[in-house]
Amino acid sequence: MPSRRLALGGLQVLVLAVSALAIWLLLGKVDVAAALGAAGRLSWRVVAVVVLLNVPTTLLRALRSQLLMRRLGHRVPYWRMNGVDLAGQTLSWITPAAAGDLSRPYMWRNRDRVPVSAGVAVVIYERLVTLMQLGVVGGVLAAALYLPAAGVVAVAAGGLVALAAPWWLSRGARRWAPTGGTGRRGLIGGLLRSLRQLESLGLSPRLTTLFAICTLAIFALSGLQVGLLAWGIGAGVSLGVAIAAYCLSQVAGSVSTLPFGIGAADVVTIALLVAGGMARVDAVAVTLLLRLLLTLPLGVAGAGGILALGRPRIAPDEAGTGAPAT
């Protein structure tokens, strides 16, 4: 156990050092004053449109969660699903590797009597499948910037295999969570129940399709926000590059140990925008605006969700023994 904790601590320090180095290199190579001046060219009309686009992306995320929850036979009011998702997103931004998202199962249990095992299955499915989709979509679009046509085709082919993640995750859940073990109590029993429910989510073609449609719509709207900011300051960038910047920056931010994925996510965004033809100063300006107009409003909304829903409470039988059987 001590060696495992030491290794985990060393890994966190390493990631923190890499993120700090990325920020230092970023600020050292860019005229921050010029970047702020470029950001100041953005009109208020563009600002309003970009901020308002946070609404449909938030609603789509809650819709995805609803689809998964209903597949498992549970119902959460849509307005509360939005609040829980925003709260979980905000907590994930301020915790290493977005671990705060695991508060959502307890919010669902406290408010809507959803078993923690079902909530954990929903969060795992969302996190793993969405991360895979971010990597595939962003990777294919980024490959078009760096690789010849044959390389792009190869990346796309690999991406199609990866998009089958819901199916092979569910097959793995069936293998590692036999039906006979789901009646057990304690941590092991809770994990087995979550894995069996994860299997139910992944083996539904209809659910997989609807989830993918919602996710791709989120990617398109989020990429449009990036594109609007670039166009608003007079820097041209294609929608494909903007979507790639969004997708891969989210992947980088998910593994960062710094709050809000600062450093890793920003460097990825800037690198892809520059590769797409933008000047570095303009790319930094867009990145700063993204933090101001996307992260800040959603963070405030998430804080409101936490205040409205209350701090997630862990019942005594869950603190060290896992989810209950019900």
Q: Cα–Cα distance between 251 and 267 in angstroms, integer?
A: 12
Specify the 3-state DSSP secondary structure of 42. Answer: coil
* pLDDT above 50 for 323: no
pLDDT at residue 133 tops 80 = yes
Q: How many domains does the chain have?
A: 1
pTM for the structure as a whole: 0.79
State pLDDT tens for residues 167-191: 666 666 566 555 544 455 545 555 6
Please report whether residue 151 resides in a domain: yes
CA 14/CA 300 separation, integer angstroms: 30
Interval 63-81: pLDDT, tens = 999 999 999 889 889 988 9
Q: Give me the domain span that covers residue 195.
A: 2-319
Q: Is the dihedral of CA 29, 32, 33, 35 positive or negative?
A: positive
Average pLDDT, stretch 206-223? 92
Digit-coded pLDDT (tens) for 238-249: 999 999 999 998
98 Ramachandran zone, left/alpha/beta (phi>0; psi -120 to 50): left
End-to-end CA distance of the chain: 32
- 283 near 274, Cβ under 8 Å? yes
Average pLDDT over residues 244-271: 79
Angstrom distance (rounded) from CA 253 to CA 237: 22
Between the CA atoms of 213, 219, 222 and 226, what dihedral angle is there, to the nearest 10 degrees? Answer: -150
For residue 248, being part of any structural domain is answered with yes
What pLDDT score was predicted for residue 324?
38
Give per-residue pLDDT as tens, 7-59: 545 555 555 565 566 666 665 566 666 776 777 778 889 889 999 999 999 99
Q: Is 326 within the bounds of a domain?
A: no
CA distance 218 to 190: 31
**Percentages of the chain per state (helix, strand, coil), in multiples of 5:** 80, 0, 20
**pLDDT grade, residue 256 (50/70/90)?**
low
pLDDT score recorded for residue 318: 47
Residue 325 maps to a domain: no
Domain-located, residue 324: no
Cα–Cα distance for residue pair 1/229, rounded to 1 Å: 48
Q: What is the DSSP letter of 291?
A: I
Burial of 178 (0-12, 13-18, 19+ CB in 10 A): exposed
